């Protein structure tokens, strides 16, 4: 298995631009999580899905952030417009019911 | 509400010495507890977990942790540090199950000196 695949691995963009981060979960996993990691706030859960349905989005910072999971094998996290304070590493993780999370390698976002 | 506190953002040990990384949690229900390790520029990898049963849990790479309910602690230990153990370590708690909303501590960076 290739594991959880995230793209891009690195993204540098300018303030105001739209950013789209992508995640392909492990096949057969019905849970998908988006986490953000910063020096100041550590690892924060942004949102998670079960069977493609958003279950808890209370961690999404504000309306500039949105996440979708159109099918079991793909999810996106979009930031529009991006701001410098969005600079972070964004992790996607997936899991089967009752099993532990498997994390992707992360997408490092820098907003100038 | 759940929370996790990791005591010490940086821990430095000599190669071959005991590793002790401290974690205390707060949970209103019996918790599921986890330790993850993160190597530079990589994602998080599960070291070990506690759900129910035996309170001493063994994980990968010689690490183990003990769940102490009376102390609300889940400290991570390894008898003898190896250079390859240098990484960042995260303690996490979940109330729901293995699969659910993980609340992470701030992380502890382990440095191993030759």
pLDDT in tens, chain B (114 residues): 788 999 999 999 999 999 999 999 998 788 899 999 999 888 899 999 998 888 999 999 999 999 999 999 999 999 999 999 999 999 999 876 656 678 899 999 999 999
Task: Indicate if the alpha-carbon torsion angle B1, B31, A35, B5 is positive or negative.
Answer: positive
User: What residues have CB less than 8 Å from A63, skipping those under 6 apart?
Assistant: none
The residues facing A78 across adjacent strands are A20, A66
All residues of chain B having their beta carbon less than 8 Å from the beta carbon of residue A45 are 101-103
Strand ranges for B1-114 from DSSP E: 3-7, 10-14, 19-26, 32-38, 44-50, 56-58, 64-68, 73-78, 87-94, 103-104, 108-113
* Beta carbons of B102 and A45 less than 8 Å apart: yes
Residue B51 is predicted with a pLDDT of 87
Give contacts of A95 with chain B, Cβ < 8 Å. Answer: 98-99
d(CA A110, CA A35): 16
**Closest CA of chain A from B96, distance in Å:** 9
DSSP-derived 3-state class of residue B100:
coil
Mutation site, A9, A42, A93, A96, interface B, largest B CB count within 10 A: A42
Residue of B nearest to A105 (CA): B43
% of chain B with per-residue pLDDT over 90: 74
For A50-64, the pLDDT digits (tens) are 999 999 999 998 899
Which backbone phi and psi does A84 adopt, to 5 degrees? -55, -35
Low-confidence ranges of chain A (pLDDT < 70): 1
Name the CA radius of gyration of chain A, rounded.
13
């Amino acid at each position: 298995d290739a594991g959880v695949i995230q793209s891009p691995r690195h993204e540098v963009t300018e303030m105001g631009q739209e950013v789209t981060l992508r995640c392909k979960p492990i096949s057969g996993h019905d849970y998908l999580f988006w986490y953000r990691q910063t020096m100041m706030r550590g690892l924060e859960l942004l949102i998670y899905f079960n069977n493609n349905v958003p279950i808890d989005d209370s961690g999404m910072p504000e309306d500039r952030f949105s996440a979708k999971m159109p099918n079991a094998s793909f999810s996106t996290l979009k930031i529009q417009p991006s701001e410098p304070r969005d600079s972070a590493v964004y992790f996607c993780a997936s899991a089967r019911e009752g099993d532990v999370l498997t994390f992707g390698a992360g997408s490092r976002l820098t907003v100038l | 509400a759940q929370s996790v506190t990791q005591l010490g953002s940086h821990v430095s040990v000599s190669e071959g010495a005991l590793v002790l990384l401290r974690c205390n949690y707060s949970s209103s229900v019996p918790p599921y507890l986890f330790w993850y390790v993160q190597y530079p520029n990589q994602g998080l990898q599960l070291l070990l977990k506690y759900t129910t049963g035996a309170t001493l849990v063994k994980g990968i790479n010689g690490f183990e942790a003990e769940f102490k309910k009376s102390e609300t602690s889940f400290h991570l230990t390894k008898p003898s540090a190896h250079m390859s153990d240098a990484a960042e370590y995260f303690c996490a708690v979940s109330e729901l199950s293995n699969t659910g909303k993980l609340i992470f501590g701030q992380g502890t960076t382990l440095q191993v000196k030759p």
